[in-house]
Amino acid sequence: MRFQGSMVAIVTPMKDGAVDLRALGELVEWQLAEGTDGIVPCGTTGEGVTLTAKERADVIRTVVERVRGRAAVIAGAGSNATHECVEAVKLAKELKADAALVVTPYYNKPTQEGLFRHYQAIWEAARFPVVAYNVPSRTSGDLLPDTVARLAKTGAIVGIKEATANMDRQVQLVEKVGRDAIVYLSGDDFTVLPYVACGGHGVISVVANIAPAAMKALTAAALRGDHAKALEQQVAMADLNRAMFLETNPGPVKAAVALLGRAGPEIRLPLAPVSDATLVKVREAMVRFGLLKQA
């Protein structure tokens, strides 16, 4: 149960087309100082799919070296080819991350049996903790509770990041897998409180890139059963959460990190910088939440 609490799906800062490892290291230090429980590099928000193999290694290595055991590191290692996933998970293991985050294969649209064999093959080849990542809106596939239960039983996964925003799905997972058999992490900033109330152990968050202390407070309140405090915080963050998804993630959050002066706004194609109209709305949401002063 080390993988619980408020974890940040950290952005990958870029400068002049290259990964900015100095800025990344500073972001990690800030996250730790703000109380973040885990750092998740090279995920969707970290633009893992458009990083080269060397860049992914550099990013994971930088995060691990900066964290120095002070928080969990779950390294993104997803691909739509199982053999590539195996190599990525082995790399995460070699670089001394604590676990690998492996998204369900996108584009291929495997069956549930294919998904089971995919994660099972990764476990058998790498023997390293894997957190499955289920995000049907991006992958066109859905890792169903019965399959999660099979994987948990064989030990192929130690947890799941569930980004369906469906609380009935989370109840089904607890029903079929067990409350503490694996770690359940919300993939949606909008649902931290209800997700934890339905058996979740925390969140892998986008908005924590700009409001880490606030997300930590929300998650901690939910986990200790202080639902009134957690609800107050969830509502307070709702406007900011919406702003981070006005365009495809991580466009808005990279713009927001840049507005804080913590890294540049560069984003790698095929994603493009947010529009001027979106940037205005992101800035306004940050002002309302108290992250920026009114211009």
For the stretch 67-86, pLDDT in tens is 999 999 999 998 999 999 99
Residue ranges making up the domain that contains 178: 5-223
Confirm whether 117 is domain-assigned: yes
Q: Which of 133, 195, 216, 254 is catalytic?
A: 133
* SS (HEC) of 177-208: HCCCCCEEEECCHHHHHHHHHCCCCEEEECHH
Task: Tell me the percentage of the chain whose pLDDT exceeds 90.
Answer: 98
Q: Which of 20-24, 56-60, 177-181, 283-287 has the lowest average pLDDT?
A: 177-181
204 is in an annotated binding site: yes
Number of domain units in the chain: 1
Confirm whether 271 is domain-assigned: no
Confirm whether 253 is domain-assigned: no
The structure's pTM equals 0.96
Active site residue 133: yes
45 is in an annotated binding site: yes
Confirm whether 29 is domain-assigned: yes
Active site residue 161: yes
Confirm whether 28 is domain-assigned: yes
Confirm whether 120 is domain-assigned: yes
For the stretch 108-154, pLDDT in tens is 999 999 999 999 999 999 999 999 999 999 999 999 999 999 999 99
Q: Which of 161, 184, 195, 216 is catalytic?
A: 161
The answer to whether residue 2 scores a pLDDT higher than 90 is no
The answer to whether residue 285 scores a pLDDT higher than 60 is yes
DSSP the chain: --S-EEEEE----EETTEE-HHHHHHHHHHHHHTT--EEE-SSTTTTGGGS-HHHHHHHHHHHHHHHTTSSEEEEE---SSHHHHHHHHHHHHHTT-SEEEEEPPPSS---HHHHHHHHHHHHHHH---EEEEE-HHHHS----HHHHHHHHHHTS-SEEEE-S--HHHHHHHHHHH-TTTSEEEES-GGGHHHHHHTT--EEEESGGGT-HHHHHHHHHHHHTT-HHHHHHHHHHTHHHHHHTTSSSTTHHHHHHHHHTTSS-----TTS-PPPHHHHHHHHHHHHHHTSS---
Quickly state the pLDDT bin for 12 (edges 50, 70, 90).
very high
Confirm whether 95 is domain-assigned: yes
pLDDT of residue 172: 97
Confirm whether 31 is domain-assigned: yes
Quickly state the pLDDT bin for 182 (edges 50, 70, 90).
very high
- For residue 118, the domain's CATH number is 3.20.20.70
Higher-confidence residue: 295 or 143? 143
For residue 168 the two structure tokens come to 């009935």
pLDDT of residue 1: 55
